[in-house]
Amino acid sequence: MASPAGTEENPLRVAIIGAGPAGFYAADQILRDEGTHAQVDLFDRLPTPYGLVRGGVAPDHPKIKAVTRVYERTAKREGFRFFGNVELGRDITVDDLTGHYHAILYTFGAEADRELGIPGEDLPGSYSATSFVGWYNAHPDYADRDFGLGRVKRAVVIGNGNVALDVTRMLALDEAELRKTDIADHAIEILAESTVEEIVVLGRRGPAQAAWTNPEIIELGQLEEADVVIGAGEEALDPVSRAWIDSDESDKTSKVNVETVEAYASREPSGKPKRISIRFLSSPVEIRGRDRVESIVIGGNELVEVDGTLKARDTGEREEIPCELVLRSVGYTGIPLDGVPFDSGRGTIPNESGRVLDGPEGQRLTGHYTAGWIKRGPSGVIGTNKKCAAETVELLLEDVAAGNLLAPDDPSPAAIERLLDERRPHHVSFSGWEQIDEAEVGRGEPHGRPRVKFASFDELLAAAGKEEV
C-alpha cells in the first residue's frame, strides 16, 4: 500500500499555474509547512517570473519591485522548480496535470481590462491601460504596440485607481526621469518625443471615493514637467461625503486623498510644459472620430445613496472634449482557460475560500485550488496576495491530512520533465531566468539604470540559453 501524499516516501506534488505574487506566496507556504514533505512546480506562460511585479509596477517605483527578493528565497527552497514559457492549454492540459500532481493551484491573475461598453471604444486611439503598461514595461505581448504618441496633444485617462495615475505619470515624465528607470528602451524614445501637452483624468465619483493611494496622488504634484490642475469646484464634496470624511469612521487614506486634491485646487499652475487635469463626477458616454479618436463625450454625475453606498447617477449633462488618445483603467477581469471552471459574471474561478467549484454555486472539485486575483477579483496590493494564498494553502493542507486529493498515475518529478521536453523543449528553468536577469542588469549598468529589459520572446529565450522552435 502506497504511503499517503505528503510523506517522505510520497511527497505532496503541487502544480501552481501563474508565477506572480500569489503563486510565489503559495509555493513558499506549502514548502515551509513542517509537517508536509512537498514539491512545488510553478508554471508561467512567460519565460520570466513575478507577474505584475515585473510587468505591471511602474518603472519609476523600484522599491515596490524589491519584493522579488522574497520570491528569490522561495525559489531556493528544496522542492521548488520553475517552468517558464509553458502555457496551460497550449503546452500542457489540466488532464496532464491531474496525471502528475496531487493538487493544482491556479494563480494566473486577472489580465484583461474591463471594457467601457460605449460607442467608439474600438476606434484606433482608444486602448486599455493594460496594453500601455505592458508596452512601457517591455512585456513581450505588447512591445510592438503603437499608441501614436507623436500626434497626441490631449490624452484622456479613465479611472481613479493607481494604474490610472501610473499611466498618467508616465505620459508626463521627462526623458531624464525616464532614463533612471527600467522602462523599455523603445518606450523611452517614443515618450521623450511625444507631443502630449495635457492628460485629463476622469473619475465617475468624487475625491472621497478615489481608489488611488496617498503616495500616488501626492507624487503627481512633484513632477518636473507637469502641473496638476483641478477645475473650479471639482474638489467640492457632496454633503454625505463631507460628513463621512469629517467623521471618525473614514479612513486615513481617503482623508489624505481629499486633502491633497483640495491643496491642488488652491495651487496656481507654475507654467510647466504639461498639465494634468483631474476631473470628478464624470463618466465617458461616447468616443467620437472618423478613422480614429478625435474626441470623447463625458456625462456629468451626481452621487446618490443606495443601500448605504454612494453611487454615481447620470445627470444628463454632456460635454465633448477634443482628444487623440483614450486609455481606460476601470478594472480588470480574469479570462477562462481550457479545463478550468470559470464564472464569467465575476471574472474569477468559482471557489469557496480557495477550493475550486465546478461552477458558480457548484460542487467542490477535488484537488483544485485558486489564489490571488483569479480567486477573489482584482483587489488589494501585492501583499494582499500573501494572506489570500495562506487561506487557500491552509485548506489544501487540511485536504492533505484528510487524503482528499487527486490520485496521479505518475507523480514523479521526472515525469512532467519528460512531458515538457517533448511538448515544450525550450521551457525556462529558474536558473534560466537568472541568466536573463543577469543579462538585463548587465545591459543597464553602463547607463546607470537598474536593468534594460528584453522585450521579445526570442530575446528572452536567447538570454536564457534557449531557442524558440
State whether CATH 3.40.50.720 applies to domain 12-111+334-427: yes
Placement of cell 517591455 in the chain? 138
Counting beta carbons within 10 angstroms of the beta carbon of residue 271, is it exposed (0 to 12), middle (13 to 18) or buried (19 or more)? exposed
Q: Under a CB-based contact definition with an 8 Å cutoff, are residues 158 and 328 in contact?
A: yes
- The contacts of residue 326 (CB under 8 Å, 6+ apart) are 125, 126, 127, 155, 156, 158, 284, 287, 293, 296
pLDDT per residue of the chain (469 residues) written in tens, 0 to 9: 568 888 999 999 999 999 999 999 999 999 999 999 999 999 999 999 999 999 999 999 989 999 999 999 999 999 999 999 999 999 999 999 999 999 999 999 988 888 999 999 999 999 999 999 999 999 999 999 999 999 999 999 999 999 999 999 999 999 999 999 999 999 999 999 999 999 999 999 999 999 999 999 999 999 999 999 998 889 999 898 999 999 988 999 999 999 999 999 999 999 999 999 999 999 999 999 999 999 999 999 999 988 878 899 999 999 999 999 999 999 888 999 999 999 999 999 999 999 999 988 889 999 999 999 999 998 888 989 999 999 999 999 999 999 999 999 999 999 999 999 999 999 999 999 999 999 999 999 999 999 999 999 999 999 999 765 4
Every domain of the chain and the residues it spans: 12-111+334-427, 113-332
Amino acid at 213: T
Measured in whole angstroms, the distance separating CA 149 from the mean position of its chain's CA atoms is 23
Quickly name the fold that domain 113-332 has.
FAD/NAD(P)-binding domain (3.50.50)
The side-by-side arrangement of strands in the sheet containing 295-306 is 282-288, 295-306, 309-322
